[in-house]
Amino acid sequence: MNTNKHRISMMLAAGLMVGAALADVTNYYASAFGFIDTRDVVSAASDGVSSLPVGVFDSGIGGMSVLEQLLVVDEFDNASGRRRPDGKPDFENERFVYFGDQANMPYGRYDSAGKADFLRELVMRDASFVLGSDGHDPAKIVVIACNTATAYGLDSVLAMDRPHDAKVIGVVNSGVEAAFDAMNGVDSPFAIAVMATPGTIASGVYERTLKNEAAARGVAGRISVVNRGGIGLAEAVECGDPGMMECARTNIVAMVEKYRDGGGKAPIRALILGCTHYPFVMDTIRKTVDGLRRMPEYAGLIAADIKYVDPAVYTAVACYRSLCKDGLLNMCDPGTEKRGRVQTFFSVGKDGPLPDSVKYGRDCGSGDIGTIIVPVSKAGLSRNTLQGIRKSFPACYAAIFASQNRSCVSASHSGDCRHLRQRAIDLSADIRAGGDEGRQPRGGIR
């Protein structure tokens, strides 16, 4: 345990060295999947790394929208690695470790409180936990299932000393790619709206990434970007607040009003859910937008066929391709491991919920930040939150709570999987030969 804590502290230190000099996250991506580097897939598949879990983290329960897609997405033929569905989940043999930093959320407020650097430290702590081995096997790849964490902490996590050079995937580029794919064939000027936390909007990450992608696709002169911070919505969803539907409605109306008051003319043709908490209130968002479109004062500002973009599916596709290219897909049937294939942890305050004065009053390098990490339990979530997870993310709900009170099975397998590891190597070489980037994922656009 002491060795693990020392390693984590070294990882944090390495990341903090670049915290004050963060580059634009879009500079890291040459294309939707351009961040992937070719590695020695033979050693990766044969040294046991492939049997490690996929690590996913968020500021709370919102990242379960991404975890849901990791559990159910079917975009690839698992036998060949080609982009064609085969009726089987793409990650059917994978295990997952999920961490929600519930004690320290909402992440969207730290920047306005002058604590952006501390937010980066929180994101690095999150990554360190899923990459560590405190109650779970270390992750072989990290998915940052939080837009605000991606905006402020992606570069810091990339700068960390990560075991087996674990890849790191964020959700922002996935959302932007999905939005533009949904606009294929649209020749007239249009607007893309982004609804995200105040912190994500303040970072400018979506606006920059949308403009960069528009330039890359040759449509820079035809798009407008509409964005507004969703005040209080992520927190309401996290707590299962009965008022979260009204909160969603209020924020949607305010965003469209902002566009109209600013002289917006081009119709909004896509709305990116720029916070992973927002799919919980998708029905309300859709109904509100439909109602606004029928009102005379908003006539022409909202397209009749507006697309709702959830970055989760595109994020799952990016994760699959990264694992496949590196030969890290787990080709072994986990058997009894499926009972505990999702291990879920939340942070909690040591002495109860942290008051805002403490939460937003801490500084980098303060050591003990007043929280501990515990396995998730139904008792730790409100009834409304549990109902929301079960309704919106049924695979997630079943996988998380089916595995409670069962011991985690080690990542090592008793069976001989050498022939399956070779299959992973072959798939990796085949995927690098490529040819499937042009096909859009079937999900994620509503």
pLDDT tens profile 316-338: 999 999 999 999 999 887 654 45
The reported pLDDT for the residue numbered 27 is 28
Tell me the mean pLDDT in the region 227-234. Answer: 93
Measured between alpha carbons, how far is 143 from 176 in angstroms, rounded to an integer? 17
282 CB-contact burial (10 Å; exposed 0-12 / middle 13-18 / buried 19+): middle
Say how many C-beta atoms besides its own lie within 10 A of residue 11's C-beta. Answer: 22
Residues 6 or more apart whose CB falls under 8 angstroms from that of 80 comprise 427, 430
pLDDT, the chain, mean: 82
Say how many C-beta atoms besides its own lie within 10 A of residue 165's C-beta. Answer: 11
pLDDT tens across 162-209, in order?
Answer: 999 999 999 999 999 999 999 887 888 999 999 999 999 999 999 999
N-term to C-term CA, the chain: 46
Measured between alpha carbons, how far is 149 from 275 in angstroms, rounded to an integer? 10
Confidence of residue 35 (pLDDT cuts 50, 70, 90): very low
pTM over 0.75: yes
Cα distances (angstroms) measured from residue 251 to each of 192, 227, 254, 283, 429:
16, 11, 5, 14, 47
Please tell me the least confidently modeled range out of 2-11, 219-228, 237-246. Answer: 2-11
Tell me the mean pLDDT in the region 259-279. Answer: 95
Measured between alpha carbons, how far is 19 from 348 in angstroms, rounded to an integer? 25
**CATH 3.40.50.1860 residue ranges for the chain:** 2-171+313-433, 174-310
Torsion of CA 309, 149, 96, 428, to 10 degrees: 70
Tell me the mean pLDDT in the region 391-400. Answer: 92
Please tell me the least confidently modeled range out of 133-142, 311-320, 382-391. Answer: 382-391
Q: Residue 359 pLDDT > 90, yes or no?
A: yes
Architecture of the domain delimited by 174-310: 3-Layer(aba) Sandwich (3.40)
Q: Residue 76 pLDDT > 90, yes or no?
A: yes
Higher pLDDT, 412 or 66: 66
Instruction: Kindly report the CATH number that applies to the domain delimited by 2-171+313-433.
Output: 3.40.50.1860
Tell me the mean pLDDT in the region 375-390. Answer: 88
Beta bridge mates, 375: 345
Tokens matching residue 190:
């249009």
Please tell me the least confidently modeled range out of 47-51, 89-93, 395-399. Answer: 47-51
Q: Residue 71 pLDDT > 60, yes or no?
A: yes
The reported pLDDT for the residue numbered 161 is 93
Higher pLDDT, 159 or 417: 159
Measured between alpha carbons, how far is 48 from 347 in angstroms, rounded to an integer? 29
Tell me the mean pLDDT in the region 117-144. Answer: 96
- SS3 per residue for the chain: CHHHHHHHHHHHHHHHCCHHHCCCHHHHCCCCCCCCCCCCHHHHHHCCHHHCCEEEEECCCCCHHHHHHHHHCCCCCCCCCCCCCCCCCCCCCCCEEEEECHHHCCHHHCCCCCCHHHHHHHHHHHHHHHHCCCCCCCCCEEEECCHHHHHHHHHHHHHCCCHHHCEEECCHHHHHHHHHHHCCCCCCCEEEEEEECHHHHHHCHHHHHHHHHHHHCCCHHHEEEEEEECCCHHHHHHHCCCCHHHHHHHHHHHHHHHHHHCCCCCCEEEEEECCCCHHHHHHHHHHHHHHHHCCHHHCCCEEEEEEEECCHHHHHHHHHHHHHHCCCCCCCCCHHHHHHCEEEEEEEEECECCCHHHHCCCCCCCCCCCEEEEECCHHHCCHHHHHHHHHHCHHHHHHHHHCCCCCCCCCCCCCCCHHHHHHHHHHHHHHHHCCCCCCCCCCCEC
Quick check: 50 and 327 in contact, CB under 8 A?
yes
Please tell me the least confidently modeled range out of 95-99, 145-149, 425-429. Answer: 425-429
Tokens matching residue 305:
């066929």
Tell me the mean pLDDT in the region 360-364. Answer: 94
The reported pLDDT for the residue numbered 380 is 82
The reported pLDDT for the residue numbered 440 is 57
